[in-house]
Structure 1
Amino acid sequence: MWPSHYALEDRREGQLARRESVQSGPGSQALIVDLIRSAGTISRTELTEATGLTQPSISNIVRRLIEDGLVRETGRAAPRGGKPRTLLEINASAKYGVGIQLGFESITLVATDVRGGVVGRQLVDGAGSATPEQVTDRLVTLYRGFVAGVGLAAPSIAGVAVVAPGPIAQLGGVLLGPPTLVRWDDFPLQQALQESLDVPVVVDNDAAAAAVGEFWSRQVSRTESFACVYMGTGIGAGMVLGGALYRGSSSNAGELGHISIEVDGVPCHCGNRGCLERYAAPAAVMAAAEASRDRLDGLGLGFAPETLSRDFDQLARAAVSGHEAALDLIRFSADRVAAASVTLANLLDLDRLVLAGPGMAVAGSLYARAIRERLEQRFFARRAHPIVVELSANPRDAAAIGAASLVLQGTIAPGHGPALTR
């Protein structure tokens, strides 16, 4: 027996309702938020055209975002043959994220708004040789004092993310042998912090966080293949593809420093040989500098683990000023980073590459120049399109800013950021 006209109508309405429900889900919300973020201002009509979602779905998502205070209407655009279009933009002050960059020599706390604008910053002594438990207690105290000093109300804080170098077990936020924090191997940092803090806590890799922060604050389009090369104590990379951070199987993708640039080169602690870090990271550069220290007299270099960052900055300043021996050392490092960057660009067919991290703070222009020259000569798809190579506007704090962006992205664009749980 054929179904009645009313039964067919009911079924059709049910199918439409289910489709609208799917189109209005978290994934679609993430897409809409990301488009508004990258566009700066955009209309509902343009969102419909860009996404292929139905007008009712766009209206439902935008209405929810406005009700939640994440998006707001901001004036009207010139009409295109009809009535003026109402423009939408991200409400920068809707939420705030707190990022903590954990290091041996220093700890940086940063608070950012939804657009990635820094609203507070604090730099304190690093973890040093203290136990993880001692440092964790200190981080809790620092966090509470920091948010109080910045004046952030508890309901406005999306969460806190702590980032560190080295491999991390994303599930449980466990540090797996960070190279400079030798006492932290297998320490469950996320659990330890979550027991004392009443906000969601995320633990992540510093290079991955820096990539998210640069992508978010630069308003990079989700259609671009984007990567960030991050040089701190080591060298890593974060990749954002299709608007989402590429994490890999265990959330440890992007270990650029452990790409082998010499097949039978120097052994590395990771088990590989000839890794980029063993030739180009600050520790390798300063080891080479110590071997020729007679050419570097007068620069005030300490050649000690606790002065590594300061020594590298000093050497970089000398290189930028034209000191011949210092320039040779930095150029050697930059050339190796450039070679690895070509490999990264060829693998991902990049549109844009940003350089960040404390290691890029002083001599970043030398690294950028070396990378641009290499890409112009050796990037496989160079005749099809160029790659934009840029320096971070805030290289020293890029990981902390990115950490704050991680929790914000996970809050306002669910599905594209980390899962946030209390």
Structure 2
Amino acid sequence: MRRGHNLLAVGDYNQAVILDLIRRATAGLSRVEIAVETGLSAQTVSNVARRLLDAGLVREAGKLRAGPGKPRTLLQLEASSRYAVGVHLDPTVVTFAVLDLAGAVVADHRIPTPSAADPDTVISVMAEEIRALLERESVSTDHVLGVGIAAPGPLDSTQGILLDPPLLEGWKHVSLREALADATGFPVVLEKDVTAAAVAELWVDSGTDRDNFAFLYYGTGLGIGLVVNHDVLRGASDNAGDMGHLMVQADGPLCSCGRRGCVGDLVVPHRLVQRAVAGGVLGPDLSVDSPIDGPVDHIDFDATDRRFSEFAAAAARGDRAALRITDDAAAHLARALVSVVNLLDIDHVVCGGPFWSRIAPVMQERIERLVAEDPALIPSHPVVLESSSIGEDVAAVGAGCLVLDQTLSPRPSALLIAG
């Protein structure tokens, strides 16, 4: 538990400590309980509570009887007092989520990614969709804290720039954060999509099984969000989690990076669709039927999305050729995950992303079993594999949670007093 400070200069930090404590206690907390938990004086807690009440961020919600004496008034979060918007940019789909102050999703929406090679068009559509979604939910713009956007890496989080996402043609050095802020009028925070997904899991489930875990992101591309000791790992440039070039098959197909057998190139949806077409599981479709080891340029992502659903349905029906493809993909993913587990000593893997739910019924159990049986696995503890309870919106939800986190969570940097 974070402790507060009885220093005049750190009022904002104390306010964040108390608000965060109230947010996590869904039943509410009394001022006395807050003082005990934070180490703050009763007067400081009373002053901060008054400010939070005046701002409408918390409310008084009933009385607590704790022995003899006057009942204590409970303080609860006023979840509908503020909102955050999360956006996830994927080459196939753009997902939007509106979160209340507690991090609950009050509205979501998805659209196919429009004219992905034209960033200006996509950003303009994003801004209009955000405006329309807030209007439909009768959310005042005055109550919106900001917009979080989750996007494929690599990115420059300091400058808010997408550097050169491999599956987003035309998005090299795009100032996404500034452009979306200008288009919406809201503050914007930019985060890598796999990191945002891990953040969402931490906000939704803060139990001990979220202390050390990996989030396997299965979207148009493949990535992994990493959490160690309940902290998200971002890396030196905030680009941690690019697992697509872990080699899992020495004699595998040639990847765009110049090496063979990279896990991302073996298991991403458009590759599985190509193999399904080549193996006769699906009929030919010129928009996606390119050589298995060919480049990914000019892939028709809309067609891949549709055909992947057909492929997953065939596997679920027990089509033998489809199951051979999913079995191979599960083996490749399990081998890559063993490397991650060995490196970080994690005990949970959470799977999600726009394409995961369609293939999970035939792959999840197999991946978990293959990880457990792999002779290269070092840790002796079980490794649990599960699907995210958040669903396909996970990266957008995580982007919205980042806004809440930056706005509301206590940060030790607030204790630094400028000279």
Q: TM-score, normalised by structure 2?
A: 0.80
Structure 2 residue corresponding to 1:370, chosen from 366, 376, 380:
366
Is the CA contact (8 Å cut-off) linking 2:153 and 2:192 kept in structure 1? yes
Structure 1 residue corresponding to 2:308, chosen from 308, 312, 316:
312
Structure 1 residue corresponding to 2:113, chosen from 103, 126, 133:
126
Aligned partners of 1:387 and 1:62: how far apart in 2?
A: 43
Which whole-Å deviations, capped at 9, do the CAs of 1:106-161 have from their partners, x for residues lacking one?
22222111333222222223133442122222222222222212211012111112
Hey, what does 2:327 align to over in structure 1?
Answer: 331
Q: Which amino acid counterpart does residue 300 of structure 2 have in structure 1?
A: P
Is the CA contact (8 Å cut-off) linking 1:38 and 1:219 kept in structure 2? no
Correspondence 1:400 to 2:387: no
CA gap of 1:36–1:152, structure 2 versus 1, over 3 A, is: same
Aligned partners of 1:401 and 1:290: how far apart in 2?
A: 34
Hey, what does 2:293 align to over in structure 1?
Answer: none
Which residues of 2 match residues 161-310 of structure 1 at below 5 A? Answer: 161-220=148-207, 224-262=211-249, 265-270=252-257, 273-292=260-279, 294-297=280-283, 303=289, 305-306=300-301, 307-310=303-306
Structure 2 residue corresponding to 1:353, chosen from 349, 353, 358:
349
Is the CA contact (8 Å cut-off) linking 2:117 and 2:168 kept in structure 1? no
CA gap of 1:317–1:413, structure 2 versus 1, over 3 A, is: same
TM superposition shift of 1:301: 9.7
Is the CA contact (8 Å cut-off) linking 1:299 and 1:314 kept in structure 2? no
Local SS of the residue matching 1:355? strand
Aligned partners of 2:158 and 2:246: how far apart in 1?
A: 25
The alignment covers a number of residue pairs equal to 396
CA gap of 1:301–1:372, structure 2 versus 1, over 3 A, is: farther
Hey, what does 1:380 align to over in structure 2?
Answer: 378
Is the CA contact (8 Å cut-off) linking 1:165 and 1:178 kept in structure 2? yes
Local SS of the residue matching 1:365? helix
Q: Which amino acid counterpart does residue 382 of structure 1 have in structure 2?
A: S
Aligned partners of 1:209 and 1:370: how far apart in 2?
A: 26
TM superposition shift of 1:252: 0.6
TM superposition shift of 1:54: 4.5
CA gap of 1:267–1:23, structure 2 versus 1, over 3 A, is: farther
CA gap of 1:72–1:124, structure 2 versus 1, over 3 A, is: same
Which whole-Å deviations, capped at 9, do the CAs of 1:159-188 have from their partners, x for residues lacking one?
112222231110222112212211111111
Percent of counterpart pairs with the same letter? 34
Which residues of 2 match residues 50-65 of structure 1 at below 5 A? Answer: 53-54=39-40, 56=42, 65=52
Hey, what does 1:343 align to over in structure 2?
Answer: 339
Hey, what does 1:13 align to over in structure 2?
Answer: none
Aligned partners of 2:260 and 2:52: how far apart in 1?
A: 50
Any unmatched runs of 5+ in structure 2? 290-298, 414-419
Aligned partners of 1:71 and 1:241: how far apart in 2?
A: 32
Local SS of the residue matching 2:115? coil
Is the CA contact (8 Å cut-off) linking 1:376 and 1:382 kept in structure 2? no
CA gap of 1:214–1:377, structure 2 versus 1, over 3 A, is: same
Higher mean C-alpha displacement, 180-189 vs 121-130: 121-130
Is the CA contact (8 Å cut-off) linking 1:70 and 1:412 kept in structure 2? no
TM superposition shift of 1:394: 3.9
Aligned partners of 1:198 and 1:220: how far apart in 2?
A: 36
TM superposition shift of 1:83: 7.9
Any unmatched runs of 5+ in structure 1? 1-17, 418-422
Aligned partners of 2:369 and 2:60: how far apart in 1?
A: 44
Correspondence 1:154 to 2:141: yes
Correspondence 1:20 to 2:6: yes
CA gap of 1:284–1:59, structure 2 versus 1, over 3 A, is: farther
Local SS of the residue matching 1:109? strand
Which whole-Å deviations, capped at 9, do the CAs of 1:280-334 have from their partners, x for residues lacking one?
1112222322332x24459999646231122222211221221111122122212
Q: TM-score, normalised by structure 1?
A: 0.80
